[in-house]
Each structure stands twice: as C-alpha cells, then as structure tokens.
Structure 1
Amino acid sequence: MINGRTDPEEHVSHFNQRMAVHSKSKSLLCKVFQSSLEPVAMRWFDGLREGSINFFKELTREFRARFMTYSRVPRLLDSLLSMAMWEVETLKTYSDKYWEIFNEIDRDFDDVAIRTFKVGLPTKHDLRNSLTRKPVRSVRRLMDRIDEYKRVEEDQQ
C-alpha cells in the first residue's frame, strides 16, 4: 500500500504484478488502483477532477509525478567502500547491514562487493583470513562462506 513515503515506481510495479491477470481491462485497473492507496495517496486520488484521467497509463503517470519526491534514490558504490565491521559487532550484524546496502546499489559490482566486504572485516578475523587464502569469485559463494562463519560464531556464544 502506498502511504506517501513509498517509492511510487515500486508501488505501480507491485500493483501491476498483483493485477497481471486483469491487465487487459484498463478501466478495471483504474477503479481498483485506489484500493492500493493509504490515506495520503487516497486524498490525492480523491482530489482528481472527474474525467481528468482517461487511461490507466495516465493515472500511473500522474501518480508517479505527484509522489516523485518519495522515489528511492539508488545508493552509490561509495556506500560499500566506507563500511567496516566494528569491534563489538557480530559478523551477522555486519553482513546484514552490508547486504542491505549492496541490494540498494543498481549496478553489478560483485567483484568490488567481495573485496570491500573482506576489507571491512578486522584483519585478524577468521573469515577475512579464509577469504584471503581461498578467494571467492561470486557474491553467492561469499554469502555461503559468511553463513558458515556466522554459524561458528553463533555456536561459540
């Protein structure tokens, strides 16, 4: 549901996915669209002049324009480059923060992601040593290796 703080592109995309079986009926999409809105966006929708929207494409264009200030700004690669694991931080906490930021970056930087994750670990961390001795070539493999070390860390607590 769009609440005035949600990215309008994501909202329209989710709405279209949920309504895919009805995509041929554009008038139905226009009528049902309002049911996906929360109060802030509903006030906007209710304030539209009658007859001002003729097509679903127009409705979504107007919706995106009205709520564009809520659009998600993709993170820059620099966000990853500045990350480091704190001394008191667990591997789980560090990796959770890392992957959250990684997923907000729009381009494919797997090689940089692998290196920056490793460099962000303390120099004496067992996982860092493992990644130095046996480097991984994909983010999937990195995640698998992290999971192994998180289990070990949890077992030691």
Structure 2
Amino acid sequence: MVELRQQVAKETLPTKHGIPFSEHIMMEELPAHFRAPSHLPAYDGTTDPAEHIYKFGNAARLHRYTDGIKYRVFFTTLTNSAQQWFDQLPAGSVRSFAEFSSLFQHQFSNSKKYQKSIISLFGVKQEDNKTLKAYVQHFNTTILEVPIAH
C-alpha cells in the first residue's frame, strides 16, 4: 500500500488512457445485457468517501457486479477533483477493489463525515431569532446523527 502511494505521488501526468486498472480487470467482458445504472450518485471529493463506497457497494450487490464490472462502473461516478485524482493513478496500479477503496478513502479523508457524540447535543442552542419549533427540529436532526448507546 505504501509503495502504491509513493508511486501515485511520483506520477504527475495522467495515464495513457486515464485507466489505472490492471490488465486482468480491463480484460473482463461486460455482459451483453449490461447497462450502467443511472441512479448512482456522483462523487466530487467534497463528501464522505466511505459513504460513497457504501452506496456504490449496495448498488453493486443489487446488480450482482463482478469485481471487474465494479471497477469500471465506479470510476464513472467520479467528477471534478475525484476524477482528476483518479486520472493521476499510474496505469495498471489498481489490482483489487479493496486496495482501490482504501486508497480512495485515504485520498479524500479530509471530507470524511465523523459521527457526532452525545456531547454534541449540548451545543444545540435555540437561536434568538428562531422559533421553538425550529429549535426542536434542529435538535431532532442532530440527535439522529448520534449513535445509540447500548
């Protein structure tokens, strides 16, 4: 993993075809009936990368994607800085989806959404110009982001 990160850091130009997947991934044939789903959310690098991987994984399981199809569909969800990062990966450097997922989450870790703790509820205050109803809605939204202690 460290070796791959160093290789990515050295590479400054896009790959020949912009595809960093290893040859065995690109050799997998798409099924004749294959259509890329239109409901997959785009990822631009500004939201939680783990959440994007999770949502994509759900779609991949629903459509019964093989690993080869997973790779090829996933990169179509990337836009803006996420697409630019992907294009900078060295040709043939991606060998497994787990490895790619780890690299992806590390690259965009600054956008990771952290779970709130119960202590964060103490920070929810009713602003002077807000109604009690607005405060309760804000509190309820915040409490949904706190994991339930068992």
Please state whether the residue corresponding to 1:72 is helix, strand or coil. coil
Name the counterpart of 2:144.
Answer: 103
Q: Which has the higher helix share?
A: 1
Q: Contact between 1:75 and 1:106, CA under 8 Å: does it hold in 2?
A: yes
Structure index of larger Rg: 1
Looking at structure 2, the residues matched to 75 and 103 of structure 1 have their Cα atoms a distance apart, in angstroms, of: 9
Instruction: Name which of 47, 55, 62 aligns with 1:14.
Output: 55
Instruction: Specify every segment of 5 or more residues in structure 1 that has no aligned partner in the other structure, as ranges.
Output: 110-157
Instruction: Name which of 73, 83, 86 aligns with 1:42.
Output: 83
**What letter is aligned with 1:10?**
E
C-alpha offsets along residues 81-109 of structure 1, whole Å, 9 cap, x if unaligned?
23343454323311221122112223438
Q: Contact between 1:80 and 1:98, CA under 8 Å: does it hold in 2?
A: yes
Q: Label 1:69 to 1:87 Cα distance change in 2 as closer, same or farther (>3 A).
A: closer
Instruction: Name which of 93, 101, 108 aligns with 1:67.
Output: 108
Looking at structure 2, the residues matched to 88 and 69 of structure 1 have their Cα atoms a distance apart, in angstroms, of: 33
RMSD of the TM alignment (CA)?
1.9
Q: Contact between 1:8 and 1:63, CA under 8 Å: does it hold in 2?
A: yes
**What letter is aligned with 1:38?**
T
Normalised to the residue count of structure 2, the TM-score between the two structures is 0.64
Higher relative contact order (CA 8 A, sep 6+): 2
Instruction: Name which of 80, 99, 105 aligns with 2:121.
Output: 80
Looking at structure 1, the residues matched to 130 and 146 of structure 2 have their Cα atoms a distance apart, in angstroms, of: 23
Identical aligned residues as a percent: 27
